[in-house]
Copies of this chain bind each other. A is one copy, B any other.
């Protein structure tokens, strides 16, 4: 009960809780079930808050943390259950409270069938602006459910070859040289490392990595550089160090500087913070070499698929990334990975309390599960 009371408190549900039923399953208890009484559709959305524990303190240019709040979702229809997840690192502005509020307002009983994905997800998107992680948690659960109803994994529904998955990068956070070296040793199975930069010790970070391994590196500056000449100089130095691309080198508002850097850099410059949804394409086209798509930024698998198609049509590079997430959202993103140039799908590897099994990594390469839907299994 202690855990349950804490969940209720996290969700602001202790007082009131009007409209909620509380159902106990084996797996942590459900907080919200937003099937309205008396409605006839078989579709039920339920959700519960969960807190991911990070194996290592996670340091970005914007700060450090040891946990990530997520919301786990399920959509049930005719005894079939689809799983979804919202991962909400604090800097993106969503939280257990906001996701609870959003998901409470999602009424799937108005749709006769989960196959009406276009209408259902358009409806979900229009409920409120923002809330992309919460939206993704519905989108992923719906995809999982529909794939299971079709008895097909999503890579197959999209016509993709599961053998064409890329290597995933493994993230090395900003830290002291000894800690970085230790993490790099742990990351030996990976064929590409994503090194976080932008905290003033960039060369030290890269040199620490290079003192342990010659494996490929990509770097994520998280908007940490402010001078374009210094940024250009760094891209040249990084290229010499075996770096393959640079993610979000400067603040997303520095459009002219980034466009100049992209034109002059020997390495591709990838947008992350600068592109969230499909609507942001006009901000990155002609400014960056490519984009980093994340389900939690764009609202889910459907939007991500469209963004990949658009990026391809615009001759832009595509990377698919993640937050710290369970294997649910990571595996959902991995279903799209045969379409991308680079993948950074290590979010489930950075936590010690995953609740699903999904993708595995073999010699650094993503191995997709062959089950229907997103292909995950509860642990």
Interface residues of A (CB under 8 A from B): 115-121, 146, 150, 152, 156-161, 164, 278-279, 281, 302, 306, 309-310, 313, 338-339
Q: Establish whether residues B306 and A118, one from each chain, have CB atoms under 8 Å apart when the complex forms.
A: no
Task: Find chain B residues with CB under 8 A from A146 CB.
Answer: 159
Q: What is the interface of chain A mostly: helix, strand, loop, or mixed?
A: helix
Residues of B within 8 A of A164 (CB): 119
21 contacting pairs across A/B (C-beta < 8 A): A115-B159, A116-B159, A117-B158, A117-B159, A118-B158, A118-B160, A118-B161, A118-B338, A118-B339, A119-B164, A120-B159, A121-B159, A146-B159, A150-B152, A157-B157, A159-B302, A278-B313, A279-B313, A306-B309, A309-B309, A309-B310
Residues of B contacting A281 in the complex (Cβ-Cβ under 8 angstroms): 313
**Residue of A117, A121, A159, A281 with most partner-chain B CB within 10 A:** A159
- Assembly CA distance A157 to B161 (angstroms): 17
Q: A115-B159, A118-B338 are in contact. List 20 more A-B contacts (CB 8 A).
A: A115-B156, A116-B159, A116-B160, A116-B161, A117-B158, A118-B159, A118-B160, A118-B161, A119-B164, A121-B159, A146-B159, A150-B150, A150-B152, A157-B157, A278-B313, A279-B313, A281-B313, A306-B309, A306-B313, A310-B313
Question: How far apart sit A157 and B146, CA to CA, in the bound complex (Å)?
Answer: 9
In Å, the complex CA distance between A164 and B150 comes to: 21
How distant is the Cα of A309 from the Cα of B302 in the complex, in angstroms? 11
* Closest chain B CB from A260 CB (angstroms): 22
Which residues on B sit within 8 Å (CB–CB) of A158? 117-118
Chain B neighbourhood of A156, CB < 8 A: 115
